[in-house]
Amino acid sequence: AQTVTQSQPEMSVQEAETVTLSCTYDTSESDYYLFWYKQPPSRQMILVIRQEAYKQQNATENRFSVNFQKAAKSFSLKISDSQLGDAAMYFCAYRRSGATNKLIFGTGTLLAVQP
Amino acid sequence: DARVTQTPRHKVTEMGQEVTMRCQPILGHNTVFWYRQTMMQGLELLAYFRNRAPLDDSGMPKDRFSAEMPDATLATLKIQPSEPRDSAVYFCASASYGPQHFGDGTRLSIL
């Protein structure tokens, strides 16, 4: 069975600084997708970034980028130039290949941004 | 922007009552998921449908929970009878060829 582990329950970063959230996963599949979702206090689940396992290039979306290490089964999220609006719970998620497969979530990392 | 719509946004009811949560997936999405979020268990899949057919409901307590898709624009999750341990946020998500899009969730409180 696939599992996703986020070992940092809470993180804190100063505004304008960079922070990295960790995620590891376990799977025997070779083709899969990884995601980072953001959940602010409004409880919406917002897709931040996604990575296809077959792509070696790390995904980037503006201030958000990932470090995908397939052999190590590691998928960390880097937030650059942190903003107050980045404060939220961040979930790492895994999905087998195929858009209509279920997501398996980690336990989340609560990110605080200090002004 | 197309959105997944969930109703109600909040529900407070007494133990033993029937609860029905509704979800309108994004038009054209053929797969609908129900997730539950609690402090203790985090986010976990309850059930999901593809082309309105149930594919996996192994995460759902069968004795009290039921999920249906009467048509392509409506998915329902029912709890009968409800119990305090069912208190949680219930999310619906839909997908087609891309990532899953989530609704805003129903916060359920069972007294």
pLDDT tens digit at each of 115 positions of chain A: 789 999 999 999 999 999 999 999 999 998 999 999 999 999 999 999 999 999 989 999 999 999 999 999 999 999 999 999 999 999 999 998 876 788 999 999 999 999 9
Provide, as residue numbers in chain B, all residues whose Cβ is less than 8 Å from the Cβ of A100.
30-31, 48, 50, 95-96
A41 touches chain B (CB under 8 A): no
Compute CA distances A8 → A31, A74, A89, A91, whole Å.
Answer: 26, 14, 11, 11
- The pLDDT of B78-93, averaged and rounded, is 96
B43 touches chain A (CB under 8 A): yes
CA distance B10 to B19: 11
Sequential DSSP letters for B42-58? EEEEEEEEETTEEEE-T
Mutate to test the interface with A, among B4, B23, B37 (most CBs of A within 10 A): B37
A40 touches chain B (CB under 8 A): no
Q: How does pLDDT run across B26-67, given as a tens digit for each residue? A: 999 999 999 999 988 899 999 999 999 998 888 898 899 999
Q: In this model, does residue B73 exceed pLDDT 90? A: yes
Considering only CB atoms, B97 lies closest to which of A43, A99, A103, namely: A99
Q: CA torsion B28→B99→B41→A108, rounded to 10°? A: -150
What's the length of chain A? 115
- Residue B98: per-residue pLDDT: 81
Pairing of strands B42-50, B31-38: antiparallel
B13 touches chain A (CB under 8 A): no
Strand, coil or helix: A57: coil
CA R_g for chain A = 14
Bridge partner residues of A52 (DSSP)? A33
State the DSSP H helix or E strand holding residue A2, giving kind and residue range, or none if neither: none
Closest chain B residue to the Cα of A38, Cα to Cα? B102
